Amino acid sequence: MIPRFKILFLIVGLIFGVHCRSARVGQAETLMGTLVEITAEGRDHKLVEARVALAFEEVRRVDRLISTFREDSELSRINRAAGVAPVQVSPEVLEAIERSLEVSRLSDGAFDISYAALGGLWDFSGEKPARVPEAAEIAARLKRVGWRRIQVDRSAGTVFLPEAGMRLDLGAIAKGYAVDRALAALKVPGVDRALVTAGGDLRAFTRPGEKPWRIGIQDPARRDRLLGELEIQNQAVATSGQYERFVEIQGRRYGHILDPRTGRPAEGVLGATVIASEAWEADAWATALLVLGPEQGIKLLPSPPGIEALIVDAKGRWHATPGLAGRIQPAPSPSVPFLFRL
Ligand code: AMP
Ligand code: MG
């Protein structure tokens, strides 16, 4: 008979051996106009590598479906048919639009993918000389903004914008949605830990017993500094900030997140970070909070467990949901492997 301590030794050895043989694959690529980084760990290097490749393919696929920068995307087809006819779209595009509409409802219209009818009035590309649009121009465009007018027919699988000039843009949710799809490709037997980041959005996967991911939150006021660190296991984190894209007109900054109620860039919030179980939701709410501001934003944020937010207002003050305040560790270490921006 094998002595007990030998069995124990064998088990410990096996666990240790398996752990030591764990392979880590990390790759980065510029997709959807941002840096996408995917890291995964597991025993079988080949399997992990294949899964990481598949995850990148998922990001490319989502981009092809919903990017408004692509003429051939399904979203661009919906926009071209505004005021003309409903457009048949794939179930995923329908789903992304329906989720967006749900956030519009919950956020009192602060989040609105039809904001895009204002497109071009505010030019953040830097290609044209920047100017503040006239009030009358904004008012004319605002007539075509309104999430309630987006017609989704689930059974027919179509989306219709009833007036010419209406437009949809999923820029505020697309990266989160892509991160979710990429993570799904990694959440398979043989992968023990995974992290997908796309610009300000990320989602982690950690099998029970594995080490959590430690991430850093960048200070929106001082970009060379971290606000703090956070440990996550199976959650998503998204960050939005007006500083990400803006134009400067006569010494004043105008950010790329627009208030669909006024047609003007949202003001009052420097940055917002949201934690949720899925990245699309964190992404949508991070954008919504920029429009809503701290008080209203925290009030309207859905309350299922796991949804948390940190908002830094224009004066640099923090506003956090109770569940998050205690999770942020204020002393940032230089060894944080993943930084994302607040
Ligand atoms: P994010 O970086 O996720 O906050 O997304 C910002 C992008 O969302 C902008 O560049 C616009 O494309 C889009 N956007 C701007 N304002 C809104 C809004 N009020 N609701 C939904 N999307 C918006
Ligand atoms: Mg967003």
**Residue pLDDT, tens place only, 92-106:** 999 999 999 999 999
The pLDDT-based confidence of 253 (bands split at 50, 70, 90) is confident
- Ligand showing the shortest atom-to-Cα distance for residue 284: 2
Contact criterion met (CB below 8 Å) for 42 and 190: yes
- Distance from the CA of 274 to the center of ligand 1, in angstroms? 15
Shortest-distance atom of ligand 1 to CA 258:
16
Closest to 286 (Cα-Cα) out of 209, 183, 174: 174
328 pLDDT more than 60? yes
Helix axis angle for 45-66 and 174-186, nearest 10°, is 150
Q: Stretch 25-35: mean pLDDT, rounded?
A: 95
Which residues contact residue 10 at a Cβ distance below 8 angstroms, ignoring those fewer than 6 apart?
A: none
Mutate to test the pocket of ligand 1, among 287, 292, 296, 340 (most ligand atoms within 8 A of CB): 287
Instruction: Return all residues near 267 (Cβ < 8 A) that are at least 6 apart.
Output: 255, 314
Whole-number CA gyration radius for the chain:
22
Sign of CA dihedral 224, 292, 96, 89: negative
Ligand 1, atom 7, residue with closest C-alpha: 172
Ligand 1 neighbourhood includes 260 CB (under 6 angstroms): yes
Q: Where does the pLDDT of residue 217 fall: very low under 50, low under 70, confident under 90, or very high at 90 and above?
A: confident
Ligand 1 close to Cβ of residue 256 (< 6 A):
yes
| 287 touches 257 (CB < 8 A) | yes
What distance lies between CA 57 and its chain's CA centroid? 18
At residue 127, the pLDDT reads 76
pLDDT tops 80 at residue 244:
no
Q: Which residues contact 158 (CB under 8 A, 6 or more apart)?
A: 86, 87, 88, 89, 152
Q: Are 304 and 201 in contact (CB under 8 A)?
A: no
**Ion ligand 2: residues, Cβ under 5 Å:** 172, 240, 283, 286-287
% of the chain beyond a pLDDT of 90: 69
Predicted confidence at residue 334, as pLDDT, reads 53
What are 276-327's pLDDT values in tens digits?
999 999 999 999 999 999 999 999 999 888 899 999 999 989 899 988 878 8
CA 128 vs CA 58, 123, 175, 263: distances in Å? 34, 7, 26, 19
Position 222 scores a pLDDT of: 67
Choose one of 256, 262, 292, 296 to mutate for the ligand 1 pocket test, by most ligand atoms within 8 angstroms of C-beta: 256
Cβ of 97 below 6 Å from ligand 1: no
Residue with tokens 């467990």: 305
| Residue 176 pLDDT > 90 | yes
* Dist. CA 284 → ligand 1 center (Å): 8
With beta carbons less than 8 A apart as the criterion, state whether 40 and 186 touch. Answer: yes
Does 51 contact ligand 1 (Cβ within 6 A)? no
8 CA to centre of ligand 2 in angstroms: 49
Q: Atom 6 in ligand 1: which residue has the minimum CA distance?
A: 172
Number of H helices and E strands in the chain, helices first, is 9, 18
Q: Is 111 near ligand 1, meaning CB less than 6 Å away?
A: yes
The domains of the chain, with CATH numbers, are 74-167 (1.10.3980.10)
The pLDDT of residue 1 is 47
Element holding 138 (H helix, E strand): helix 135-142
pLDDT at 21: 62
Ligand 1 midpoint to CA 219 (Å)? 20
- C-alpha span between 200 and 305 (Å, rounded): 22
Ligand 1 atom, smallest distance to 290 CA:
4
> Helices 91-106 and 279-292 meet at what angle, rounded to 10?
40
pLDDT confidence tier of residue 16, bands split at 50, 70 and 90: very low
pTM of the full structure:
0.90
Residues 186-210 pLDDT 10s = 999 999 999 999 988 999 999 999 9
Q: Looking at ligand 1, which atom is closest to the CA of residue 201?
A: 3
CA 297 to chain CA mean position, Å: 17
Confidence of residue 18 (pLDDT cuts 50, 70, 90): very low
291 CB near ligand 1 (under 6 Å): yes
Higher pLDDT, 86 or 334: 86
For residue 316, the model assigns a pLDDT of: 87
d(CA 193, ligand 2 centre) in Å: 25
Residues 222-242 have a mean pLDDT of: 86
Query: Which atom in ligand 1 lies closest to the alpha carbon of residue 238?
Result: 3
